[in-house]
């Protein structure tokens, strides 16, 4: 692999040539579909949808530092982030725990961004206590027949496949009777019913299984050994979130700090409200500290120093930080932050309302704050229960 500088400059030129200006606006929902499709195809052709995966599965074969250079270039161009459950969560888990046949079957589809995945974890009766899940899978010949219900399934209405936790041994202790299985969504036994959330979005669904079928060869890891696989995947999820930066959420064009400064105003060069000034400084310091802590964890791992697992800590602090940023923007906006839709409000104000509502879930999904603190107490601090 060539030098980082050469690679970064090559990546820069390639992005410059392939990324249309209409797409250089960050992750927005209203991006022109055809342009976006072409961009994803171009990225897939270089293996850059999954830059660190092996080239034999369609990945980019880059090492960590080259991949970081690529991400930095993409970010500098404000390129839309290509990826999802397949690249961020299932892929890394398959690379680690899947058989060769499973990797060959599923990884290329993720790298080409052809197969969209969704995550079947939570159930109405299994939220924080995920291991109490009840969806049943019964072996019939070389297929499992699946009955039950999942909830909070992001993108279930668009997904081609689901990775799903199912109970394969109802007699075993709750952690030991679970399997991790993959199956297609487009089949008679699967029904998707979207859920409307407090921010008005309908990205989540309830999914009902009534005799859905999965190949027995599509169990990842050992049968009844799915809990280990599930936890490994959640670690990938937490790494992803803790590592990302706050500030601009989704489609927002201005940061929470921009909003505070504009709405509060200045008095002799100093933010006019001393309390909001304190809170803005706290938020900025928290964002810097989170990013430094994540960097330190990577440096410790690279240097082979005993690194404590800070995945749960990162998720916990990240969630609080993101919520705090939106809280602060809302405080500064006052009534301008209360609009729901229609005339009388600017788009940026309406987006801010929705963002504030939507970020309430950051301390809930992927393990609530309380669950993360439990994990830290038990696994990091080793306090007996």
Partner 1 sequence: MGLILSDDQLILRDMARSFCEEKSPVERMRTLRDNQDETGFTRALWKEMAELGWVGIPFPEDLGGSDMGYGELGVVLAECGRVLAPEPFLSTVLLGGNAILLGGQESLQKELLPGVCSGDRLLALAFQEHGRFSPYHVETRAVATGSEFRVSGEKLFVLDGHVADQIVTVVRSSGEAGDREGLTLLVIDSGAPGVTVQRTTMMDGRNAARVSFNETPVDAGRLLGEVGHGADVLDPVFDRATVALCAEMFGSFEEAFERTLEYLKTREQFGVKIGSFQALRHRIAHMFGELEFARSVLLDAQTSIDEGRDDVAECASAVKARCSDVASLIGAEAVQMHGGIGMTDEEETGLFFKRLKAAEFTLGDAVYHRNRYAGLRGY
Question: Which residues are catalytically annotated?
Answer: 237
Which range in 29-37, 64-72, 205-213, 280-288 contacts partner 1 by CB under 8 A?
Answer: 280-288
Which range in 10-18, 42-50, 237-245, 313-321 contacts partner 1 by CB under 8 A?
Answer: 313-321
193: which strand partners? 206
Going residue by residue from 319 to 358, which x/- string records binding to partner 1, judged by CB under 8 A?
----------------------------------------
Block residue for tokens 């270039």: 73
Q: Is 160 in the site for partner 1 (CB under 8 A)?
A: no
Q: Is 282 in the site for partner 1 (CB under 8 A)?
A: yes
Residue 125 token pair: 């009766």
Q: Is 308 in the site for partner 1 (CB under 8 A)?
A: yes
Looking at the Cβ atoms of 317 and 336, the one nearer to partner 1 is 317
Looking at the Cβ atoms of 9 and 282, the one nearer to partner 1 is 282
Would residue 228 be called left, alpha or beta, if left means φ above 0 and alpha means ψ between -120 and 50 degrees?
alpha
Block residue for tokens 């005339």: 343
Q: Is 67 in the site for partner 1 (CB under 8 A)?
A: no
Per-residue b/e over 4-43, b at no fewer than 16 CB within 10 Å?
eeebbeebbebbeebbeeebeebeeeebeeeeeeebbebb
Q: In this structure, are residues 283 and 245 in contact, taking their beta carbons and an 8 Å threshold?
A: no
- Number of shown-chain residues binding partner 1 (CB under 8 A): 42
Instruction: Look at residue 190 and give its three-state secondary structure.
Output: strand
Considering only residues 121 to 150 of the shown chain, the ones binding partner 1 according to CB under 8 A are none
Q: Is 258 in the site for partner 1 (CB under 8 A)?
A: no
Beta strands 143-154 and 136-140 are antiparallel
Q: Which of 10, 160, 191, 300 is the binder for partner 1 (CB under 8 A)?
A: 300
Q: Which of 250, 295, 340, 346 is the binder for partner 1 (CB under 8 A)?
A: 295
Q: Using CB atoms within 10 Å of the CB of residue 170, give its burial: 0 to 12 exposed, 13 to 18 middle, 19+ buried.
A: exposed
Q: Is 268 in the site for partner 1 (CB under 8 A)?
A: no
Which range in 7-15, 241-249, 264-272, 329-337 contacts partner 1 by CB under 8 A?
Answer: 264-272
Q: Which of 62, 107, 280, 322 is the binder for partner 1 (CB under 8 A)?
A: 280
Residue 122 token pair: 């939570």
The rounded distance, in Å, linking the Cα atoms of 136 and 150 is 11
Q: Using CB atoms within 10 Å of the CB of residue 168, give its burial: 0 to 12 exposed, 13 to 18 middle, 19+ buried.
A: buried
The rounded distance, in Å, linking the Cα atoms of 181 and 220 is 6
Looking at the Cβ atoms of 266 and 340, the one nearer to partner 1 is 266
Q: Using CB atoms within 10 Å of the CB of residue 332, give its burial: 0 to 12 exposed, 13 to 18 middle, 19+ buried.
A: buried
In the complex, the smallest distance separating the C-beta of residue 376 from partner 1, rounded to whole angstroms, is 4
Q: Which of 113, 317, 323, 336 is the binder for partner 1 (CB under 8 A)?
A: 317
Considering only residues 354 to 383 of the shown chain, the ones binding partner 1 according to CB under 8 A are 370, 372-374, 376-378, 380-381, 383
CA 34-35-37 angle, to 5 degrees, is 65
Q: Is 101 in the site for partner 1 (CB under 8 A)?
A: no
Q: Is 263 in the site for partner 1 (CB under 8 A)?
A: no
Instruction: Return residues touching partner 1 (CB under 8 A).
Output: 261, 266, 269-271, 274, 277-278, 280-282, 284-286, 288-290, 292-293, 295-296, 299-300, 303, 305, 308, 310, 313, 316-317, 370, 372-374, 376-378, 380-381, 383-385
């Amino acid at each position: 692999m060539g030098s980082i500088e050469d690679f970064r400059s090559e990546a820069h030129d390639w992005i410059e040539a392939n990324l249309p200006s209409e797409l250089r606006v960050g992750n927005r929902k209203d991006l022109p579909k055809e342009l976006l499709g072409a961009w994803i195809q171009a990225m897939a052709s270089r293996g850059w949808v999954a830059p660190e995966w092996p080239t034999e599965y369609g990945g980019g074969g880059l090492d960590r530092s080259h991949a970081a250079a690529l991400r930095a270039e993409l970010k500098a161009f404000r390129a839309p982030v290509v990826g999802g459950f397949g690249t961020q969560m299932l892929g890394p888990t398959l690379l680690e725990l899947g058989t060769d046949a499973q990797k060959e079957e599923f990884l290329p589809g993720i790298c080409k961004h052809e197969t969209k995945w969704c995550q079947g974890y939570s159930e109405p009766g299994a939220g924080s206590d995920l291991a109490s899940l009840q969806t049943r899978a019964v072996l019939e010949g070389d297929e499992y027949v699946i009955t039950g219900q999942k909830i909070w399934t992001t993108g279930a209405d668009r997904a081609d496949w689901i990775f799903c936790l199912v109970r394969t041994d109802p007699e075993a202790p709750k952690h030991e009777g679970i399997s991790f299985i993959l199956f297609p969504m487009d089949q008679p036994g699967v029904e998707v019913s979207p859920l409307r959330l407090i921010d008005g979005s309908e990205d989540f669904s309830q999914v009902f299984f009534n005799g859905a079928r999965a190949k027995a060869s599509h169990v990842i890891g050992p049968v009844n050994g799915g809990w280990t696989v599930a936890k490994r995947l959640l670690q990938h999820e937490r790494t992803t979130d803790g590592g990302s930066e706050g500030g601009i959420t989704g489609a927002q064009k201005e940061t929470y700090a921009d909003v505070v400064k504009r709405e509060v105003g200045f008095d002799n060069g100093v933010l006019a409200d001393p309390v909001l000034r304190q809170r803005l400084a706290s938020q900025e310091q928290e964002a810097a500290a989170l990013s430094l802590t994540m960097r330190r964890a990577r440096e410790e791992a690279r240097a082979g120093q005993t690194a404590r697992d800070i995945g749960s800590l990162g998720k916990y602090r990240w969630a609080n930080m993101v919520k705090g940023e939106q809280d602060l923007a809302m405080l500064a906006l006052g009534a301008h932050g209360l609009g729901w839709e229609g005339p009388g409000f600017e788009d940026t104000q309406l987006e801010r309302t929705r963002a504030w509502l939507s970020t309430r879930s950051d301390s809930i999904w992927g393990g609530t704050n309380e669950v993360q603190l439990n994990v830290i107490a038990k696994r990091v601090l080793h306090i007996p229960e």
